Amino acid sequence: MNNPSCLRPLDILLAEDNLDHAELMLETLGDFNPKNRIIHKANGEEIMRHLDQTLQQREPLPDLILMDIKMPRMSGIETLTAIKQNDALKHIPVVMVTTSSNEQEVSVCFRSGASSYVTKPLSYNEFVEKVVSLNGYWGYTSKTPHQSS
């Protein structure tokens, strides 16, 4: 955990409307592995647009999508559903991020196809630990599903 260099750097797509939170997450994730490539989008629409472009230009898809649940225009759950309904995108693991850990919200996330769930912590150390463990899972499995296919 404290030795992130053993992990493969990741392409992470971040959806977060709160720019402060986005900045914190970007920095935290960058701290933990400077080679991580993180793209930030402010809402679901932008995420979908970005993914469409990536597909059109045949660029590599992100390894992981971190997504806030509460976003304007297109909420996290809507975006998640859209991703999971798209055959070209549905293999990408999506981790939902939220401020409150409401049980109902959590179950909705998993029913809609989320891979995991993270509560926005007050201390970003917790957050880093969570992402590290997640990243560890995807990193140590050496390949994300779309790379193996």
- Under the rule (CB under 8 A), what is the footprint of other proteins? 18, 20-21, 24, 27-28, 70, 99-100, 102, 120-125
**Cα–Cα nearest to 70, from 98, 47, 112:** 98
How many other CB atoms sit within 10 Å of the CB of residue 95? 20
Q: How far is the CB of 122 from other proteins (least distance, A)?
A: 4
Q: How far is the CB of 141 from other proteins (least distance, A)?
A: 29
Query: Of the two residues 21 and 91, which places its CB atom closer to other proteins in the complex?
Result: 21
Query: Of the two residues 21 and 37, which places its CB atom closer to other proteins in the complex?
Result: 21
- For residues 132-147, b (16+ Cβ closer than 10 Å) or e, as one string? bebbeebbeeeebebe
Task: Assess contact for 125 and 148: CB atoms under 8 A.
Answer: no
Strands (E), the chain: 11-15, 37-41, 64-68, 94-98, 116-119
Query: Of the two residues 25 and 51, which places its CB atom closer to other proteins in the complex?
Result: 25
Q: How far is the CB of 82 from other proteins (least distance, A)?
A: 23
Q: How far is the CB of 55 from other proteins (least distance, A)?
A: 32
Q: How far is the CB of 124 from other proteins (least distance, A)?
A: 5
Query: Of the two residues 26 and 39, which places its CB atom closer to other proteins in the complex?
Result: 26
Alpha-carbon separation of residue 127 from 15, 78, 92, 104, 119 (angstroms): 16, 24, 21, 21, 8
Query: Of the two residues 11 and 16, which places its CB atom closer to other proteins in the complex?
Result: 16
Residue given tokens 């930030």 in the structure block: 40
